[in-house]
Structure 1
Amino acid sequence: MTCDRRRVLVTGGAGFVGSHLCDRLLADGRDVVALDNFSTGSRDNLAHLLDHPDFEVIPHDVAFPIHLDAGEIYNLACPASPVHYQFDPVQTIRSSVLGAANMLDLAHRMNATILQASTSEVYGDPEVHPQTETYRGNVNPIGPRACYDEGKRCAETLCFDYHRQHGTRIRVPRIFNTYGPRMHHNDGRVVSNFIVQALRGEDMTIYGDGSQTRAFCYVDDLIDAFVLMMEAADDVTGPINLGNPHEISMKELAGHIIDLTGSRSKLVHTGLPVDDPVQRCPDISLARRVLGWSPRVSLEEGLRRTIGYFEASLRGVATSDALIEGCPA
């Protein structure tokens, strides 16, 4: 069977990152098929694309096989925030492991190139800082985060076994904290949490003393890196860290968001979640050298764009709630 090399499959296409990837691929003139079971993805994220002649949406769970033609596969399907992946940990593992196996089977049959989205969570609570791709991690295999951490580690193993055994063309990016428009209001990630709390004038919840650090990459920069990885030579398999090496504490992040929103929210502290990393920051030397990539959007600019999205989104929610309350029973 011959596949159209221009046709691209994006699993998790209705998700935060997946929908932005669909936007980019269509803008580049590609034919795009988005797969999503809509467990965490939103149809609203794709509503603006539904009339596009080169775009198709197929409801499907990657934990089950599917047969279709594609020359490139971006496998992003998996709950990615702790609130979502811990809600149904068994299904998270199925999405990560069975989903990767099914997409690798499809890539092998179609002689397609597959980009398997991995994560900085494979490093666990790191003892090496910043994290390089050669670091093997410090992961608790039986903790509440293990469904995601170990699921993604196993997905990486499958990719490299398919590559060695079948010659499958693979790309494995390890994604560090990414943020931007279309994040869920209630996904439990720190950027969305802080912005929503600040805009609503609620107390901003900081885990621990707020000294733990993260490094935040704006979604457009991540999508640029995905495309560069897919277009790279076949010996560029990864894993490659993709993220912004600008490290910031949670307390500093909260302060920035208060300043940008003009909020009067107060900071309140609560206990650290189990196995929550104290430090997380990528070494992106390999991405710079191999892909010629580094992030371009500053944290301030990215936060401004994201705050603008949440301001509009929350106004829509408030309007919708008011209409519902005003309707006769």
Structure 2
Amino acid sequence: MNKKMNIEAPNDSILQKDIDRIAQELVKFPEINHKTIFVTGASGLLGSLTVKSLLCLNRCYRFKVSVVALVRSLEKAQAAFGDLMHDDKLRIIVGDIGEIPDIVEPIDYIIHGASVTSSRDFVEHPVETIFTAINGTNQVLELARSKNISGMVYISSLEMYGTINSDIPVSEDAGGYIDPLSIRSSYSESKRMAENLCCAFSSEYGLPVKIARLTQTFGPGVSYNDNRVFAQFARSVIKKKNIVLHTKGSTVRNYCYTSDAIRALFYILLKGTTGSAYNVANMGTGISIRDMAELAAKFGSHTNIVFERGDNEKRGYNPPVTICLDTSRLQALGWSAEVGLEEMFQNLIKSMESSLI
């Protein structure tokens, strides 16, 4: 093992530990050695962590995985990868997911994570949200077909389940109501359609594609300026400010730590059944948004919870739901979640603080 600390995350020791942990797990999958993996959304949270973990696998365990990373801008790639941009096993492609530039090299595996992720964009740019999901996924599937890939995983979302209020963990066979006339449904409806498109390519063309339905995922690597609730909570703790809730915080869901999610993607990609979907979550993290705010506030000596009502429709908030994903199908592949909610917040806060240094 050839290992030097803080190569993939030079300014964030917490993130580097996660990358090392993922790389250690990927040793279990020798089938990716000497292969090329195409990653879309590569400058995003999960995409960049996937790329860094594969490069760490090469460096630490003498694998020779080539990575082709699709990003929207060179500046975002440079911010995400820094000196790794010069790694000879990484090729950055700048382009739009709706019109992927020509890729001349063979592609063996695809991890498709490009997506609109901001709740505000779901209501302010619903057309772009829909077309990014559907047209982008169609482009990736056509590429997969032309390259005769060995496997692909599409990163979907728990939001495809729609409105569910149940204390019983939700399996992959469940489905709740989505209002097609709600602008906010641009995200959840397009995720459903993209999943169906994956299944259509699998059925009609024999494409080995699987689906990962992720719950909200966070940990080291989350941008300091991220606007999702967990980042808002962590930022309030760092700034020694109150946590502001714009709703009652009654929505209950379970969450997943970033390194656990990346590990899950590879289990699904390499061990999952073609045409199947797999929930990705930590079943031990079910909590309401209000209770999660209370948990986060414990890490800040000057942080309290305050409520300020506003126009939640414009913010892109979903109706209150109670939904916790059942991960039995994923666990049957050999995966298990390792990091609980308290450690998730501890590591998130430390990582965000390191980005300010």
C-alpha change, 1:194 and 1:120, in structure 2 (3 Å) is same
The corresponding residue for 1:183 is 222
Aligned AA for 2:148?
Answer: N
The corresponding residue for 1:292 is 334
Within 1, Cα distance between the matches of 2:160 and 2:52? Answer: 28
Secondary structure of 1:174's match? Answer: strand
Residue segments in structure 1 that go unaligned for 5+ positions in a row: 317-329
Tell whether the 8 Å contact from 1:261 to 1:307 is kept in structure 2 after alignment. Answer: no
Tell whether the 8 Å contact from 2:202 to 2:274 is kept in structure 1 after alignment. Answer: no
Shift of 1:208: 2.3
Within 2, Cα distance between the matches of 1:107 and 1:162? Answer: 10
Alignment partner for residue 253 of structure 2, among 204, 214, 220? 214
Aligned pairs, how many? 310
User: Do residues 301 (structure 1) and 343 (structure 2) align?
Assistant: yes
1:190-216 Cα deviation digits (max 9, x unpaired): 100111122223331223222321211
C-alpha change, 1:37 and 1:232, in structure 2 (3 Å) is same
Within 1, Cα distance between the matches of 2:329 and 2:131? Answer: 30
Secondary structure of 1:184's match? Answer: coil
Shift of 1:254: 1.2
Secondary structure of 1:79's match? Answer: coil
Tell whether the 8 Å contact from 2:294 to 2:305 is kept in structure 1 after alignment. Answer: no
C-alpha change, 1:99 and 1:229, in structure 2 (3 Å) is same
Secondary structure of 1:117's match? Answer: strand
The corresponding residue for 2:200 is 161
Within 2, Cα distance between the matches of 1:196 and 1:127? Answer: 30
Within 1, Cα distance between the matches of 2:121 and 2:75? Answer: 7
Secondary structure of 1:34's match? Answer: strand
Aligned AA for 2:152?
Answer: I
Aligned AA for 1:64?
Answer: E
The corresponding residue for 1:146 is 185
Aligned AA for 1:301?
Answer: E
User: Do residues 20 (structure 1) and 49 (structure 2) align?
Assistant: yes
| Aligned 1:309-328 pairs, distance under 5 A | 309-313=351-355, 315-316=356-357
Shift of 1:104: 0.3
The TM-score with structure 1 as length reference comes to: 0.87
Tell whether the 8 Å contact from 2:157 to 2:212 is kept in structure 1 after alignment. Answer: yes
Within 2, Cα distance between the matches of 1:203 and 1:39? Answer: 36
Secondary structure of 2:115's match? Answer: coil
1:260-282 Cα deviation digits (max 9, x unpaired): 23333442243554533422310
Aligned AA for 1:27?
Answer: C
The corresponding residue for 2:323 is 280
Tell whether the 8 Å contact from 1:82 to 1:187 is kept in structure 2 after alignment. Answer: no
Within 1, Cα distance between the matches of 2:236 and 2:121? Answer: 19
Aligned AA for 1:150?
Answer: E
| Aligned 1:220-259 pairs, distance under 5 A | 220-232=259-271, 235-245=273-283, 246-259=285-298
Aligned AA for 2:82?
Answer: A
Within 2, Cα distance between the matches of 1:39 and 1:171? Answer: 29
Alignment RMSD (CA, Å) = 2.2
C-alpha change, 1:215 and 1:255, in structure 2 (3 Å) is same
Alignment partner for residue 90 of structure 1, among 106, 127, 136? 127
1:84-118 Cα deviation digits (max 9, x unpaired): 44442221111100110000000011111221111
C-alpha change, 1:124 and 1:307, in structure 2 (3 Å) is same
Shift of 1:46: 1.8
Aligned AA for 1:214?
Answer: R
Shift of 1:220: 0.1
Within 2, Cα distance between the matches of 1:252 and 1:62? Answer: 37
Alignment partner for residue 89 of structure 2, among 54, 63, 73? 54
Within 2, Cα distance between the matches of 1:87 and 1:258? Answer: 31
Tell whether the 8 Å contact from 2:245 to 2:305 is kept in structure 1 after alignment. Answer: no
Residue segments in structure 2 that go unaligned for 5+ positions in a row: 1-32, 59-64
C-alpha change, 1:284 and 1:12, in structure 2 (3 Å) is same
Secondary structure of 1:195's match? Answer: helix
Within 2, Cα distance between the matches of 1:27 and 1:307? Answer: 24
Aligned AA for 1:306?
Answer: L
The corresponding residue for 1:323 is none
User: Do residues 101 (structure 1) and 138 (structure 2) align?
Assistant: yes
Tell whether the 8 Å contact from 2:157 to 2:215 is kept in structure 1 after alignment. Answer: yes
The corresponding residue for 1:173 is 212
Alignment partner for residue 114 of structure 1, among 152, 159, 177? 152
Shift of 1:156: 0.5
Within 1, Cα distance between the matches of 2:124 and 2:239? Answer: 25
